[in-house]
A and B are shown apart, each in its own frame.
Chain A
């Protein structure tokens, strides 16, 4: 059969490529590298991050709109639209910690050519805090009482109470500047009906929206008014959505159709096989997302809960620190990372693993598995297996636990591993997994949520919002224990309560200097980890891939991954 000639003819017909970008342009000129092709398999649904809050939308919008300061890959603040980061030392933060003064870079313009002024800063705050707007980022602006604009480039944010860390609003990709002129008619309930503005906000970033198809694709072109003359290197950006992480990884690593693929949470062996062809590179960045175990120090409520129990009893086994310590010691975290995450994870002994100055060194070495020592700890604490059934007991209470998590292949692997290790130290575990949409829902009527904690042990991931850990560490305060009275709200799911921890948190809330705050944060972290309130397992990374010909990518887990897209360019041939 003449298959070969037919195939050859077909190949001839089909194998032409799209015309390359005009190569005659001098290198160094804006727009010299043609089109940048991004694959975001979860496609953005809007380009206004204030109306959505979803990570995919924040990322896509970061091509267009920018905050006053960004966070670099180490979690350090970088002045972006401002001259410098205001601090106590340079007088940008008032001595009473009740105001912060931002000074815009002179000569900044929006992509329509009009100047950026302090009025835009004030407007953006009004836009998000207007009642009825449904703004997703209003928590960031909550403590701001007023914005003064003493000059066109100067904005002073005044707070209700002293703020030792006044960098909530306008720092990071969630709270970029919007143009007052464009959104003036979109205040409050009218925010939703401004579709044209929401789909093509005017920004200061390197690109501007040309075409936006929610949930599908977006086309951007370079901003002719961008503040750096020879940036961006790309004349246009195509952001494509749809498919899944697997198809996204394939387009960059195997076929080379796209330059960048975002969020590739795939099994380590799948990703490694794709990357083997050498067409692209897998990149990772770490922030504070930690996969952890939480122990329930209370007797879990029977499900469905019909008992009206005034105060839940402390659990006889879980409230014993030696039991928690032995459970943690029996885990081989190295193996867990290798199986579940590969390059996208690393062993951590801290619940607060970053930025670097906040990461404690006191818990190093926790990752070593030591079954024999775990057995000895239980033995010495009086937990012995007297009846020979393989399960230790003390005063008639057996070490039998229910271990729950959300339905997810990696988490179920971890459950099986832990069950086996715990069996070896005389602990019997019953495994449960709950659909993620139920487990992570805020439905107070469901007994199967993270907050209700209808088990003894549970596994989930959590992260600090931004580099300052105060809000995150406050999650373990006594007042944040979820219970029936507060409608099962709060992050302190294990119901651990230590007045000393709360006192340190109060101190953190009034401490200003970075070094002092970091020291307090490390102490708080150590209290949580050394008391085995939580067992940090894996520090999880953001993982993406870019084509081998793309240069300038600095993967960032603190800000948008596209934070420095203006500097991205193609490798010279």
Chain B
């Protein structure tokens, strides 16, 4: 068990190093100017001075090395300082966003709660909904629930979020005036009233996003359930006289976990990456919105850091999925 695990870890580290180099290089080579959003009345020499204040006049390898050092040493040290009350960072320069001049990590920390709450909840709802739906539809294949579920999944696949969001806003916010169209990120939940406001403003974005997740997951989970139900051990279980519920949940579901978990684990990093389109429409200003906004503003440190963190999460989720599946299904470890 140990040597393959070490080998994998080495792979992970080298993958991430290559990814970091590529991310930096690609973004650095891409056209775009952090000064392009300034009004034309600001003269060129002032812009040049502003660029040099951002450190843009230094050579790319130097900037890459500094960014990597800040990512790997300074920012973890600052996190440790905050948690353990130490002084490891000792005032070392942090990764600063060009657009806001604030530490990128604190921008991410500000955005993460919205993303986690909205995208995370939608992800959980979508995944569990998909599993429940696939159990129900596999148990009564071809009946109303199955047809409705498959229809919903097809719809979720076919309709892009910018369309479903617009329809939901039109019906529930503009026509019926039940729900708000925008999400207030400054709302602090302090009691029942504010909690109710929070729930109301979460309904539409969560609905749009969970429909997406549900559609993606249900295809796999339904197929896996049907697959499992066609196996001989299900016939055996039924022949033993087990009830429909035990057969479905105890035997079929357990054996259909592998593809469902793979899809769920690989989709998990998107909870942190946010949902660019949906966040933009409802004004749920999470990580996705930070990323697109920084791209538009040419704010390279923010884009590089966010992209890198997402890459780390994807690699870790892959690793986690592999380890988990090896636990559930020993066949994969021996293969």
On A, residues with C-beta under 8 Å from B are 10-11, 14-16, 18-19, 39, 43, 45-46, 51-55, 132-139, 189, 191-193, 195, 198-199, 211, 213-219, 238, 240-244, 247, 250-251, 254-255, 257-258, 437-438, 440-443, 462-463, 465, 489
Interface size class of B (residues with CB under 8 A): 35 or more
8 A Cβ contacts from B277-328 to A: 279-285, 289-290, 293-294, 297
Instruction: Tell whether B332 is near chain A: CB-to-CB under 8 Å.
Output: no
Contact yes or no, A134 B52, CB < 8 A: yes
Distance, CA A132 to CA B176, complexed state (A): 55
Given A215-B293, A240-B184, A240-B283: A442 and B43 interface contact (C-beta under 8 Å) = no
| B110 at the binding interface (Cβ < 8 Å) | yes
Tell whether A219 pairs with B180 under 8 Å between CB atoms, given A244-B280, A437-B31: no
Least CB distance, A8 to chain B, in whole angstroms: 11
Q: How far is the CB of A167 from chain B (nearest CB, A)?
A: 15
Given A18-B193, A132-B53, A215-B289, answer yes or no on A247-B101 (Cβ-Cβ < 8 Å). no
Would you call B22 an interface residue if the criterion is a C-beta within 8 Å of the partner chain's C-beta atoms?
no
Residues from chain B with Cβ under 8 Å of A465 in the complex: 39, 41
The verdict on B173 contacting chain A, using a C-beta distance below 8 Å, is yes
B275 CB to closest chain A CB (Å) equals: 13
B residues within 8 A CB of A211?
Answer: 186
Q: Is the CB of B53 within 8 A of A134?
A: yes
Chain A nearest CB from B164 CB (Å) reads 15
B267 within 8 A of A: no
Q: Are A214 and B182 in contact (CB under 8 A)?
A: no
**CB distance B184 to A250 under 8 Å?**
no
Q: Which residues B152-186 have CB closer than 8 A to chain A?
A: 169, 173-174, 176-182, 184-186
Nearest residue (CB) in A for B298 is A437
Residues of B within 8 A of A437 (CB): 31-33, 36
The reply on B125 being an interface residue by CB < 8 A is no
Shortest CB distance B294–A (Å): 8
Contacts A14-B179, A216-B185, A238-B186 given; does A136 touch B50 at CB 8 Å: yes
What would be 28 A-B contacts, judged by CB atoms less than 8 Å apart? A18-B193, A43-B285, A132-B53, A133-B53, A135-B46, A137-B42, A192-B101, A193-B101, A199-B102, A211-B186, A213-B110, A215-B289, A215-B294, A218-B186, A240-B283, A242-B182, A242-B289, A243-B282, A250-B174, A255-B173, A257-B180, A437-B31, A440-B40, A443-B33, A462-B40, A463-B40, A463-B41, A465-B39
> Is B38's CB within 8 Å of the partner chain A?
yes
B99 within 8 A of A: yes
Q: Which residue of B lies closest to A238 (CB)?
A: B186
Complex: chain B residue closest to A58, CB-CB: B39
The interface residues of chain A lying within 8 Å CB-to-CB of B169 are 250
Interface SS of B by simple majority = loop
Which of B32, B39, B52, B96 has the most C-beta atoms of chain A within 10 angstroms of its own C-beta? B39
Query: A438 and B53 in contact (CB under 8 A), knowing A247-B182, A257-B181?
Result: no
Once A214-B107, A442-B44, A442-B47 are accepted as A-B contacts, the answer to whether A136 and B101 lie under 8 Å apart by CB is: no
Once the chains bind, are B101 and A250 in contact (CB under 8 Å)? Answer: no
Q: How many whole Å from B321's CB to the nearest CB in chain A?
A: 32
Are the C-beta atoms of A189 and B53 separated by less than 8 Å? yes
Of the candidates B46, B99, B106, B174, the one whose C-beta lies within 8 Å of that of A254 is B174
Q: Which residues of B contact A462 (CB under 8 A)?
A: 40
Docked pose: A132 CA to B51 CA in angstroms: 10
Q: Nearest B residue to A216 by beta-carbon distance?
A: B285
Decide if B231 is an interface residue (CB 8 Å cutoff). Answer: no
Chain A residues closer than 8 Å to B99, beta-carbon distance = 45-46, 52, 214-215
Cα–Cα distance between A241 and B100 once the two chains are bound (Å):
15
Cross-interface CB contact of B102 among A214, A242, A257, cutoff 8 Å: A214
Report if A136-B182 is in contact (Cβ < 8 Å); known contacts: A54-B37, A242-B279.
no
Task: Check if B279 sits within 8 Å of A134, measured CB to CB.
Answer: no
In the bound complex, CA of A192 to CA of B56 (Å): 14
Distance of A29 Cα from B177 Cα, bound (Å):
32
Chain B, residues 203-246, CB within 8 Å of chain A (1/0): the string is 00000000000000000000000000000000000000000000
Interfacial chain B residues near A251, Cβ < 8 Å: 181-182
Q: Which residues of A contact B96 (CB under 8 A)?
A: 192-193
Residues of B with C-beta under 8 A to A16: 196
The interface residues of chain A lying within 8 Å CB-to-CB of B38 are 53-54, 136
| Contact among B32, B46, B54, B285 with A241 in the assembled complex (CB-CB below 8 Å) | B285
Q: How far is the CB of B50 from chain A (nearest CB, A)?
A: 4
User: A51: which B residues are within 8 A, CB to CB?
Assistant: 101
Contact of B174 with A139 in the complex, beta carbons under 8 Å = no
A45 is contacted by which of B103, B283, B297 (Cβ under 8 Å)?
A: B297
Cβ-defined contact, A217 with B41, below 8 A: no
Contact of B53 among A15, A137, A192 (CB under 8 A): A192
- Least CB distance, B187 to chain A, in whole angstroms: 9
On chain A, the residues within 8 Å of B200 by CB distance are: 14
Shortest Cβ distance from residue A131 to the other chain B in the assembled complex, whole angstroms: 8
Given A16-B196, A192-B101, A438-B31, are A238 and B179 neighbors across the interface (CB < 8 Å)?
no
Partner among B36, B179, B182 whose Cβ is within 8 Å of the Cβ of A243: B182
Q: Is the CB of B186 within 8 A of A217?
A: yes
Nearest opposing residue in chain A for B94, CB measure: A193
Q: Which of B14-52 contact A (CB under 8 A)?
A: 31-33, 35-44, 46-47, 49-50, 52
Is there contact, CB below 8 Å, between A217 and B185? Answer: yes
Contact yes or no, A216 B174, CB < 8 A: no
Contact of A138 among B37, B46, B185, B193 (CB under 8 A): B46
Residues of B within 8 A of A442 (CB): 33, 35, 44, 47
CA separation between A284 and B285, bound complex, in Å?
28
Distance between A340 CB and nearest chain B CB, rounded to angstroms: 20
Verify B283–A243 contact, CB threshold 8 A: yes
* A72 CB → nearest B CB, Å: 20
A34 to B315, alpha carbons, bound, how many Å?
48
Q: Which of B100, B279, B283 has the most CB of A within 10 A?
A: B100
Would A255 and B283 count as touching, CB distance under 8 A? no
A250 adjacent to B181 (CB under 8 Å): yes
Q: How far is the CA of A489 from the CA of B111 in the complex (A)?
A: 40
Given contacts A45-B99, A214-B100, A238-B184, contact A247 B281 (CB under 8 A): yes
Identify which of B39, B52, B180 contacts A55 (C-beta below 8 A): B39
A331 to chain B, nearest CB (A): 24
Instruction: For B107, list chain A residues within 8 Å (CB).
Output: 214-215
Does B197 have its Cβ within 8 Å of any Cβ on chain A?
yes
Docked Cα-Cα span, A437 to B197, in Å, equals 40
Top-7 shortest CB links A-B: A134-B53, A465-B41, A216-B285, A242-B283, A214-B100, A192-B101, A134-B50
Residues of B within 8 A of A43 (CB): 285, 293
